[in-house]
C-alpha cells in the first residue's frame, strides 16, 4: 500500500515540476520570426488589381498555434512609389495577397520589383514584442490588354512606277501600335480596302502590282490601306496611297521642239529653252553632246551675203584690182549666159558644169603678169568622178599649139595648180606644178579655195585653213612665142586642135583673179564666214562646270560636263542667229548627238539623237521704187555743151515692205466692221533702208553711137562712194554695195551728151536698180528727153548778094506734120528791096525767140512757134522763080505788132515754167492749142507776100 502511495507522490512531484516548467515557458511566448519565401513572381492585368503570385503569399510562424505569437498580423512592402499593397487574408494560416492600389498602365511600366516582409502579432493584442520575417523579392509583370489600334506613320504615301513593268515592291507602308505587349503591339496584317485594283500588299506592308500597268489606261492609282494588330484591332484611320504611272522611261532629251520658227531680223533665237536630259535615274559620270546645224543645201554651204564676188571682196576690205570671171549674166557680162545656174535669187548664184560645157572669157578681161603676185579664189563643189583631168581655170594658146600657161585643175581628187614661166635668159628648171591632196576636193560639199601666188611659192587656203603642197614638180620655161592666149573656165582650150578638152564636172561660183595683190588671212576669213550659225551665252554659275567648243563656221558645237543640271542650263542657252537683213528662207536641219558615261559601264544608258529643224521664214520682200521726172525737154545747145543734160535730176529711190497687221476688234465693232467676217487684217506699208549693189542705165531704141553721143558720170564721185562703172553701146552699169542715198547722189550726176543734134528729136532711157545680185529688182524707170531745135541767125550782108538769100538747115528724119512745102521749079526772078526788109524782120524775130529761150533756161519750152520757125527755115527757097511785092507800110505795122505779140508770149511762157509742165500730154495739148495762132500768122504772112506764080510750072 505504501509503494502505491509513493508512486502517487512521485507522479505529483513530476506533474508539479512539469507545471512549473510550462509556466516558465508560457512566460516566454513569442520566440520565433515569421517565415516567407525568398522570391515571388506575380502577374497582374493592367485593368485589374489582383496579382497572381507564384508561389502564393503565405507566412509561417513556429510560435503557432499560440495566439498572437503564432499569428501573422500583416505584410510590409519596401520600395519607392510601389503601386501595390499586401493584405493578410488569414492570420492563423498566414495567407495573404498583393493587389494594385490604382489601375496599372503597361505602356508606362511593364514590370515592378520590390521587397516584402511578414510580421506576427507579437505577445499580445497590443503587438508587443512583434517579430519580422526576412525580406523577400517580388517581381510583378503587368499584363497588357489590346486597348490601342494601329496608326500609320505617314498621313499619305506616294510612289511612281514605269508602265509595262512588274515590281517586286513599289513602296512600303508601315503602321505602329502603342500597346506594350508583343501580341497587341505587333501588326499582323495589312489590307487594301479599295476594290478592283491591280495591286497587292503583304504582311510587312510592301505593295506591288499584280499586272503590268499602262500609262494610257491609268496615269494614277489611289489606294486606301488599313492595318490590323495581332489582337485583330483595325487601324483607327486608313491611309491613302497614290501611285503614279509614268511612260516607259527611255533616256532621251525631253522638252525638245522639232520645229523652230525663225523670223528674219529678230536676232538670236533660243533653240532649246525647255529641254532637259532624262537619264532614268541612272548615275551619270559625264555627258558630251554635239549640236549640228545642217546648212549645206543653203547657197554655198550656209547663208551668206549674195552680192557679187567682186562686191564681197570690197566689203571684206580687199583692195581694188579684182576681176570677176563668173559674173551674173547681164548686158555687159554676157559670157556666162549659156551656163545653167541654180535659177534662184534667194541664195548665191552658182554655175553648173556637166562635163560638156565651158566658157571663154573675153579678151582683155584679165591682164595678169605672172611675174607679179596674184590671187585666184573660187567656190567649188566636186565629187568623185573620172580619172581624167578636170580644168577649173585654164589659160592656153589660142591657136597653133596646146600649151597651158597657167591652169587650176583636178586630177584623181588632187588639186593642182600649173604655172609655166615665160621665156627668160636662163633656161633652168623652175617650179611648175603644185599638188595638194585634199579630202575636200571630192566630198561633194562646198568649199572656198584661195591661192596666193608669189612665184616661186604658192599658198592655199581651204575654208580659211592653210594647206602646204605635198608635191612640187619643176619644168623648163616655155619657148618664146607670139601666139595669143585664151582664158577658159570649165575646160581647156586646145589651140592646135581648135576644141575644148579636160571638161570640169561640178559646181563653181565666185571665181575671181586679183592681179598684183595678196590677200591676207582676215580677208579670207571674211569671205568664208557664214552669216548664220549657232551661238551660246554661258550663264556665270555654270561657265566653269561646262566646256563648249565651236567649229570654224559655227555650224556645230560640242558641250561637255558632268553636272546634269548645269548641262541642261547650257543647252537651254544655245541659240540660232542669222545676221542677214534678208536671209535665205527654208529649213535648216538640227541634230543633237549625246554620249554619256556611267559608273557601271555595262548598264550605262544610251541617249538617242534628237532631231528637228529651224524654219527660217520668208523675209518681207522690199519693193524698190524709182521715181522722178520721166519726160522733159532741153535745147540742142545743152546736149552739145560740155556738161550735157542730166538724165535723173530729181530721182528718188525708196524701198518699202508690206505687212499684214491684225485689225483691232474693238474698233471694228465700233465701226460696224463685224458685219463683214472677211475683214480681219490690215495691210501696212513701211519704208525701210537697205543697200543696193547695181543700177543699170539702158538706152531704148538705137544703140549709142560713140562718135557723137555718150553717157557720162563723175568718176571722182564714184571713187568717193567706192562704186565702179562699166559702159557699153547699150548704156552703163554702176555696181558696188552702197546705200540707196549714195546711189541717188551718183545717179543724179549721170549726163547724156550729143554733139550732132540736127537729126535728133528725142532719146529714151531706162533705169533699173537691184539688191543682192538681182534678188530684189526695182521698177523700170523710163525717161524721155526731147530736143528743142532753134534756128541759127543768118548773115544779112551776104544775103544781099547770094542767090539763095536764106541758108538752109537740114534735119534728118524731121516730121513737120504737113508743113513742108514741095520744091518749086526754079525760075529766074530778081529779089526786090522789100525782100531785104522781110529778111531783117524774120531775123529779128528769131533773135527775140532765142533770147526768150535762154531767159527761161530752155528747160520747159515746148511751144510750136520755135518748131514753126525751124520749119520755115528749112524751106529751100528758090527765089529765081518768085516775084515778091511788098508794101513797106504793112511790113512796118506788122513788125511792131509781131514784137508786141512776142512780149506777150514771153510772159505766158514764164507762167508755164512756173507750172512745170513736163508730160507728153501737156506738150501735145500745147501743140494743138498753138496751131491756130500759127496758122493765122501764116495767113498774115501770105497776105504780106504777093506771089507771082505766072512763071511757075505745076
In this predicted model, what pLDDT tens digit does every residue of 98-140 receive, in sequence order? Answer: 988 888 888 788 888 999 999 888 877 777 788 888 999 999 8
Of 227-236, 360-369, 643-652, 731-740, the one with minimum mean pLDDT is 360-369
CA–CA dist 605, 279 (Å, integer): 7
The whole-angstrom separation of Cα 471 and Cα 450 is 18
Per-residue three-class SS string for 782-842: EEEEEEECCCCCCCHHHHCCCCCCCCCCCCCCCCCCCCCCCCCCCCCCCCCHHHHHHHHHH
Is residue 644 left, alpha or beta, with left meaning phi > 0 and alpha meaning psi from -120 to 50?
left
Q: Which of 124-138, 285-299, 581-595, 622-636 has the lowest mean pLDDT?
A: 124-138
Confidence of residue 19 (pLDDT cuts 50, 70, 90): low
Residue 197: the pLDDT is 94
pLDDT at 94 over 50: yes
| Rounded average pLDDT over 220-228 | 94
What pLDDT band is residue 629 in, cutting at 50, 70 and 90?
A: very high
Q: What angle do CA 194, 196, 198 make, to 5 degrees?
A: 100
Neighbouring C-beta atoms of residue 442, cutoff 10 Å: 17
**Residue 8 pLDDT grade (very low, low, confident, very high; cuts 50, 70, 90):** low
CA distances from 893 to 796, 896, 900 (A): 22, 5, 11
**Mean pLDDT, residues 422-444 taken together:** 83
State yes or no: pLDDT of 419 exceeds 50. yes
CA–CA distance, 659 with 678 (Å, rounded to integer) = 18
Report residue 516's pLDDT band, with 50, 70 and 90 as the boundaries.
low
What is the overall mean pLDDT for the chain?
A: 78
Give the pLDDT of residue 186: 87
Q: Is the pLDDT of residue 881 over 70?
A: no
Angle between helices 833-855 and 888-915 (to 10 degrees): 10
Which residue has 562712194 as its cell numbers?
721
The 10s digit of each residue's pLDDT in 678-703 is: 445 567 788 899 999 899 999 999 99
At 386 the pLDDT is 74
Q: From residue 244, give the alpha-carbon distance in Å to each of 109, 163, 567, 690, 702.
A: 45, 10, 28, 58, 86
Structure confidence at residue 854 (pLDDT): 66
pLDDT confidence of 838, banded at 50, 70, 90? confident
Alpha carbon distance 389, 663 (integer Å): 64
Report how far residue 236's alpha carbon sits from residue 152's, in angstroms, rounded to the nearest whole number: 9
- Ranges 348-352, 739-743, 745-749: which has the least confidence: 348-352
pLDDT on residue 14 = 56
CA–CA separation, 629 and 650 (whole Å): 6
pLDDT at 738: 92
pLDDT of residue 246: 86
C-alpha dihedral over 873, 640, 627, 306, to 10 degrees?
140
Q: Tell me the CA end-to-end span of the chain in Å, nearest whole number.
A: 245
**Residue, of 7 and 503, whose pLDDT is higher:** 503
pLDDT reported for residue 648: 94
Whole-angstrom distance, CA of residue 422 vs CA of residue 420: 7
pLDDT tens across 60-77, in order? 888 877 877 778 888 999
For range 825-849, the mean pLDDT? 62
β-sheet bridge partners, residue 175? 152
Instruction: Give the pLDDT confidence of 920-948 residue by residue, as tens digits.
Output: 333 333 333 334 444 444 434 443 333 34
The pTM score is 0.58
Residue 669 pLDDT exceeds 60: no
User: What is the reported pLDDT for 500?
Assistant: 92
Q: What is the mean pLDDT of residues 442-453?
A: 90
pLDDT at residue 345, rounded to an integer = 52
Tell whether the model's pLDDT for residue 27 goes beyond 70: no
Confidence tier at 220 by pLDDT (50, 70, 90)? very high
Percent of the chain at pLDDT > 90 equals 32
Most confident region among 246-260, 337-351, 832-846 by mean pLDDT:
246-260
pLDDT of 722 above 60: yes
Residue 815 has pLDDT above 60, yes or no: no
Residue 810 has pLDDT above 80, yes or no: no
Q: Quick count: other Cβ atoms within 10 Å of Cβ 856?
A: 14
Q: Where residue 13 falls among pLDDT bands split at 50, 70, 90?
A: low
Task: Write down the pLDDT at residue 16.
Answer: 60
Q: Are 226 and 191 in contact (CB under 8 A)?
A: yes
Q: What angle do the packed helices 920-944 and 864-874 form, to 10 degrees? A: 50
Q: Is the per-residue pLDDT at 605 higher than 60? A: yes
Q: What is the pLDDT of residues 371-412, one digit of tens each?
A: 678 888 999 999 887 788 999 999 999 888 888 888 999 999
pLDDT digits (tens, 9 = 90+) for 753-797: 998 888 888 999 999 999 988 888 999 999 999 999 876 544 433
Q: What does the pLDDT read at residue 426?
A: 62
Mean pLDDT throughout 854-878? 47
pLDDT-based confidence at 9, cuts 50/70/90? low
Closest to 894 in 3D by CA, of 831, 947, 839, 841: 841
Question: Per-residue pLDDT tens for 468-482?
Answer: 998 888 887 777 788
Q: Calculate mean pLDDT across residues 611-636.
A: 92
For residue 574, pLDDT beyond 90: yes
Answer whether residue 660 shows pLDDT above 80. Answer: no
Write out pLDDT tens, residues 289-329: 999 999 888 888 888 888 877 788 788 877 667 888 888 87
More confident residue, 807 or 179: 179
Whether residue 655 has pLDDT greater than 90 = yes
Beta carbons within 10 angstroms of residue 40's beta carbon: 21
Once rounded to an integer, what is the mean pLDDT over residues 818-835? 39
Q: Span 737-745, mean pLDDT?
A: 93
If you average pLDDT over residues 840-862, what whole number do you get?
69
- Give the pLDDT confidence score for residue 394 in this predicted structure: 93
How would residue 885 be classed by pLDDT, with cut points 50, 70 and 90?
very low
The pLDDT of residue 908 is above 80: no
The yes-or-no verdict on residue 878 having pLDDT over 50 is: no
Amino acid at each position: 500500500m505504501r509503494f502505491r502511495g509513493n508512486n502517487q507522490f512521485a507522479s505529483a512531484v513530476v506533474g508539479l515540476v512539469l507545471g512549473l516548467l510550462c509556466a516558465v515557458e508560457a512566460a516566454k511566448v513569442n520566440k520565433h520570426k515569421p517565415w516567407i519565401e525568398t522570391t515571388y513572381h506575380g502577374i497582374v492585368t493592367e485593368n485589374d488589381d489582383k496579382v497572381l503570385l507564384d508561389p502564393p503569399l503565405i507566412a509561417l510562424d513556429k510560435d503557432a498555434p499560440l495566439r498572437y505569437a503564432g499569428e501573422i498580423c500583416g505584410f510590409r512592402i519596401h520600395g519607392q512609389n510601389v503601386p501595390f499593397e499586401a493584405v493578410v487574408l488569414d492570420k492563423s494560416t498566414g495567407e495573404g495577397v498583393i493587389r494594385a492600389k490604382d489601375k496599372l498602365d503597361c505602356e508606362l511600366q511593364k514590370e515592378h520589383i520590390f521587397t516584402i516582409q511578414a510580421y506576427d502579432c507579437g505577445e499580445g493584442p497590443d503587438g508587443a514584442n512583434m517579430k519580422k520575417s526576412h525580406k523577400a523579392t517580388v517581381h510583378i509583370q503587368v499584363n497588357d490588354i489590346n486597348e490601342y489600334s494601329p496608326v500609320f506613320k505617314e498621313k499619305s504615301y506616294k510612289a511612281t512606277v514605269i508602265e509595262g513593268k512588274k515590281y517586286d515592291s513599289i513602296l512600303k507602308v508601315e503602321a505602329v501600335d502603342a500597346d506594350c505587349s508583343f501580341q497587341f503591339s505587333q501588326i499582323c496584317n495589312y489590307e487594301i480596302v479599295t476594290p478592283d485594283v491591280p495591286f497587292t500588299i503583304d504582311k510587312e506592308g510592301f505593295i506591288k502590282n499584280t499586272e503590268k500597268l499602262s500609262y494610257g489606261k491609268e496615269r494614277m492609282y489611289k489606294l486606301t490601306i488599313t492595318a490590323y494588330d495581332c489582337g485583330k484591332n483595325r487601324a483607327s484611320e486608313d491611309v491613302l496611297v497614290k501611285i503614279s504611272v509614268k511612260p516607259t522611261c527611255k533616256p532621251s532629251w525631253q522638252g525638245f521642239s522639232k520645229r523652230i520658227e525663225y523670223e528674219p531680223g529678230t536676232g538670236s533665237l533660243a533653240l532649246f529653252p525647255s529641254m532637259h536630259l532624262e537619264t532614268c535615274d541612272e548615275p551619270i559620270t559625264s555627258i558630251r553632246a554635239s549640236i549640228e546645224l545642217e546648212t549645206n543645201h543653203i547657197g554655198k554651204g550656209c547663208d551668206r551675203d549674195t552680192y557679187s564676188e567682186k562686191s564681197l571682196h570690197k566689203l571684206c576690205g580687199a583692195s581694188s584690182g579684182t576681176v570677176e570671171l563668173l559674173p551674173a549674166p547681164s548686158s555687159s557680162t554676157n559670157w556666162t549666159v549659156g551656163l545653167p545656174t541654180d535659177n534662184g535669187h534667194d541664195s548665191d548664184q552658182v554655175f553648173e558644169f556637166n562635163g560638156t560645157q565651158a566658157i571663154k572669157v573675153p579678151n582683155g578681161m584679165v591682164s595678169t603678169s605672172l611675174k607679179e603676185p596674184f590671187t585666184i579664189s573660187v567656190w567649188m563643189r566636186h565629187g568623185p568622178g573620172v580619172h581624167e583631168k578636170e580644168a577649173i581655170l585654164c589659160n592656153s594658146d589660142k591657136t597653133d599649139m596646146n600649151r597651158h600657161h597657167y591652169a587650176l585643175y583636178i586630177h584623181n581628187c588632187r588639186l593642182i595648180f600649173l604655172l609655166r614661166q615665160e621665156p627668160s635668159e636662163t633656161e633652168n628648171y623652175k617650179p611648175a606644178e603644185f599638188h595638194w591632196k585634199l579630202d575636200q576636193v571630192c566630198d561633194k560639199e562646198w568649199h572656198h579655195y584661195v591661192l596666193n601666188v608669189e612665184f616661186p611659192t604658192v599658198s592655199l587656203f581651204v575654208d580659211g585653213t592653210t594647206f602646204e603642197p605635198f608635191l612640187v614638180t619643176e619644168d623648163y620655161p616655155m619657148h618664146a612665142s607670139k601666139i595669143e592666149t585664151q582664158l577658159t573656165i570649165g575646160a581647156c582650150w586646145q589651140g592646135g586642135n581648135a576644141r575644148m578638152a579636160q571638161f570640169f564636172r561640178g559646181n563653181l561660183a565666185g571665181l575671181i583673179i586679183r592681179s598684183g595683190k595678196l590677200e591676207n588671212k582676215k580677208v579670207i576669213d571674211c569671205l568664208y564666214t557664214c552669216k548664220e550659225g549657232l551661238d551660246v551665252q554661258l550663264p556665270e554659275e555654270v561657265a566653269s562646270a561646262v566646256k563648249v567648243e565651236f567649229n570654224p563656221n559655227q555650224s556645230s558645237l560640242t558641250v561637255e560636263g558632268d553636272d546634269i543640271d548645269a548641262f541642261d542650263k547650257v543647252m537651254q542657252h544655245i541659240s540660232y542667229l542669222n545676221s542677214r537683213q534678208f536671209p535665205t528662207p527654208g529649213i535648216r536641219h538640227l541634230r543633237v548627238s549625246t554620249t554619256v558615261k556611267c559608273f557601271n559601264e555595262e548598264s550605262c544608258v544610251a541617249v538617242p539623237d534628237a532631231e528637228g529643224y529651224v524654219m527660217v521664214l520668208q523675209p518681207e520682200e522690199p519693193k524698190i521704187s524709182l521715181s522722178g521726172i520721166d519726160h522733159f525737154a532741153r535745147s540742142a545747145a545743152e546736149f552739145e555743151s560740155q556738161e550735157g543734160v542730166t538724165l535723173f535730176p530729181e530721182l528718188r529711190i525708196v524701198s518699202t515692205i508690206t505687212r499684214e497687221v491684225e485689225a483691232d476688234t474693238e474698233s471694228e465693232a465700233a465701226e460696224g466692221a463685224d458685219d463683214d467676217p472677211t475683214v480681219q487684217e490690215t495691210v501696212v506699208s513701211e519704208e525701210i533702208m537697205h543697200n543696193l549693189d547695181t543700177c543699170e542705165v539702158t538706152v531704148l531704141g538705137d544703140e549709142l553711137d560713140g562718135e557723137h553721143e555718150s553717157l557720162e558720170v563723175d568718176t571722182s564721185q564714184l571713187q568717193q562712194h567706192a562704186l565702179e562703172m562699166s559702159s557699153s553701146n547699150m548704156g552703163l552699169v554702176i555696181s558696188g554695195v552702197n546705200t540707196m542715198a549714195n546711189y541717188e547722189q551718183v545717179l543724179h550726176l549721170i549726163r547724156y551728151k550729143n554733139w550732132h543734134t540736127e537729126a535728133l528729136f528725142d532719146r529714151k532711157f531706162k533705169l533699173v536698180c537691184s539688191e543682192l545680185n538681182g534678188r530684189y529688182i526695182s521698177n523700170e524707170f523710163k525717161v524721155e528727153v526731147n530736143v528743142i531745135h532753134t534756128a541759127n541767125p543768118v548773115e544779112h550782108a551776104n544775103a544781099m548778094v547770094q542767090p539763095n538769100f536764106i541758108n538752109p538747115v537740114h534735119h534728118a528724119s524731121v516730121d513737120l506734120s504737113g508743113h513742108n512745102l514741095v520744091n518749086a521749079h526754079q525760075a529766074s526772078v530778081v529779089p526786090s528791096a522789100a525782100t531785104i526788109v522781110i529778111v531783117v524782120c524774120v531775123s529779128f524775130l528769131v533773135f527775140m525767140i532765142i533770147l526768150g529761150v535762154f531767159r527761161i533756161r530752155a528747160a520747159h519750152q515746148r511751144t510750136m512757134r520755135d518748131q514753126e520757125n525751124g520749119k520755115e527755115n528749112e524751106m529751100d527757097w528758090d527765089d529765081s522763080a518768085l516775084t515778091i511785092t511788098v508794101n513797106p507800110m504793112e511790113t512796118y505795122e506788122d513788125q511792131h505788132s509781131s514784137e508786141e505779140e512776142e512780149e506777150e508770149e514771153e510772159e505766158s511762157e514764164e507762167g508755164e515754167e512756173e507750172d512745170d509742165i513736163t508730160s507728153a500730154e501737156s506738150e501735145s495739148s500745147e501743140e494743138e492749142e498753138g496751131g491756130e495762132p500759127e496758122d493765122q500768122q501764116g495767113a498774115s504772112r501770105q497776105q504780106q507776100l504777093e506771089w507771082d506764080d505766072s512763071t511757075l510750072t505745076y
